[in-house]
């Protein structure tokens, strides 16, 4: 907790990534967002997650961030809760992290 916000971070080499949420946010959820962001950025940078690579491709990194978080809401897909069938098709869902 930092000044009323839940903050999770990860340092990979010379790159530090932070995800912040409100005081009522689930820390595990924010950590999942952080891991997803790290994996996506690492993928678009072809495995080279360095400060120089991030700065050289900042436009692509910002697009990844924009696709992951839209107006403070984490976009994603969750299993449909109705029916209780593990093999049920997934439904679109949005989780807001405000």
The CATH number assigned to the domain holding 11 equals 3.30.450.60
Question: What's residue 45's pLDDT?
Answer: 92
pLDDT at 97 over 50: no
Let me know: does 22 contact 6? Beta carbons within 8 Å: yes
Q: Assess if residue 89 is contained within a domain.
A: yes
Q: Assess if residue 43 is contained within a domain.
A: yes
This prediction has a pTM of 0.70
Q: Which domain holds residue 46?
A: 6-96
- Give the count of alpha carbons within 13 A of 41, CB side only: 26
Q: Assess if residue 1 is contained within a domain.
A: no
- The b-or-e profile of 60-83 (16+ CB within 10 A means b, else e) is ebeebeeebbeeeebeeeeeeeee
Please tell me the total count of domains within the chain.
1
Q: Assess if residue 66 is contained within a domain.
A: yes
Could you give the angle at the alpha carbon of 16 between the alpha carbons of 18 and 34, nearest 5°? 40
Q: Assess if residue 48 is contained within a domain.
A: yes
- Write out the H or E segment, with its range, that includes residue 55: helix 51-56
pLDDT at 96 over 90: no
Across 57-84, average pLDDT: 69
């Amino acid at each position: 907790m930092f000044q009323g916000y839940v903050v999770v971070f990860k340092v990979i080499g010379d790159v530090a990534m932070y995800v912040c949420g409100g005081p009522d946010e689930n820390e595990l959820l924010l950590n999942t967002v952080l891991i997803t962001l790290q994996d996506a950025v690492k993928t678009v940078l072809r495995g080279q997650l360095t400060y120089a690579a991030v700065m050289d491709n900042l436009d692509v990194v910002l697009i990844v961030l924009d696709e992951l978080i839209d107006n403070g809401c984490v976009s994603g897909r969750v299993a449909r809760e109705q029916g209780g069938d593990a093999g049920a098709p997934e439904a679109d869902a949005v989780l807001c992290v405000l």
